Amino acid sequence: MQEATDFRDESDTIAQLLASADEPLFATVTQFKKWTIEDVIGHLYVWNVAALTTLENPDGFKTFIRDFMGQFQKGLGHIEAQRIWLDENADGVRGKALFDTYCEYYPKLASAYDAADPEARVAWAGPDMSTQSKIIARQMETWSHGQEIFDILGQDREEGDRVRNIAHLGVTTYGWTFRNRKEEPPAPKPFVQLTAPSGTTWEWNDPRMIM
């Protein structure tokens, strides 16, 4: 799947940004919920592991999600839960070593989804989804959480046309965002037109429905 390549390329941007980072930099607090850069990398790594597990070991994923959600039910936050998971499943890796582990892992995830049937279904914390949607979702997480790292380091990220996957995800989940709140989606679906980083024009839905 091209989307798997796009995910790997998105992950590469973080790997390249932090390639020469020293240990103290990973303790830098970002503007997102006071997560540190280490917390962001840990979040991406843990859920990359989950994404590969649901593809290759569905029963293992059931155990993963049961245990992780169990931490939430105890009143723990996401960062507390992922630190417990790292302690129990990744030898308590932290800081630069966690970043190195992340960098070693995401190409494996990309390769596995590249070889998968795009229409095959995989389980997740919410509804099941196609493998194609799942790897796009991993790109979306990498792109969005990567932004807080770029921001706190004062760096500009050069976007590529792979960002279309994320825009597509936003457009196609229009109805779901309402149904998820037990509301009827307003009709018609809005027309969306974007200019790609390359200058190409992207469009979704009926152009007569400009809101």
pLDDT score, position 209: 60
Chain centre distance of CA 57: 20
> What is the percentage of the chain residues whose pLDDT exceeds 70?
99
Helices (H), 18-94: 37-56, 58-73, 78-89
What value does the mean pLDDT take over residues 106-115?
98
What value does the mean pLDDT take over residues 64-81?
94
pLDDT score, position 155: 96
User: Considering only the top CATH level, what class is 2-159?
Assistant: mainly alpha
What value does the mean pLDDT take over residues 124-142?
94
DSSP 23: G
Does pLDDT of 10 surpass 60? yes
Residues of the chain with CATH 1.20.120.450: 2-159
What are 122's two structure tokens?
Answer: 């995989």
What value does the mean pLDDT take over residues 166-186?
91
What value does the mean pLDDT take over residues 88-107?
97
DSSP 127: S
Q: Which residues pair with 36 in a beta bridge?
A: 29
Residue 167 burial by CB count (10 A; 0-12/13-18/19+): exposed, middle or buried? middle
Sign of CA dihedral 48, 54, 55, 59: positive
Residue 119: what are its φ and ψ, rounded to 5°? -95, -5
* Helix (H) or strand (E) segment spanning residue 201: strand 201-204
What are 157's two structure tokens?
Answer: 């990220």
Under DSSP, is residue 144 helix (H, G, I), strand (E, B) or coil?
Answer: helix
What value does the mean pLDDT take over residues 165-184?
91
DSSP 26: G
pTM: 0.92
**Placement of tokens 């966690």 in the chain:** 98
Does pLDDT of 104 surpass 80? yes
pLDDT score, position 176: 85
> What is the percentage of the chain residues whose pLDDT exceeds 90?
89
* Helix (H) or strand (E) segment spanning residue 130: strand 129-130
| Least confident piece of the model among 42-51, 130-139, 199-208 | 199-208
What value does the mean pLDDT take over residues 123-150?
95
Q: At 130, is the pLDDT very low, low, confident or very high (cuts 50, 70, 90)?
A: very high
Does pLDDT of 23 surpass 60? yes
Does pLDDT of 129 surpass 80? yes
Does pLDDT of 211 surpass 70? no
Chain centre distance of CA 177: 18
What value does the mean pLDDT take over residues 85-98?
97
What value does the mean pLDDT take over residues 189-193?
92
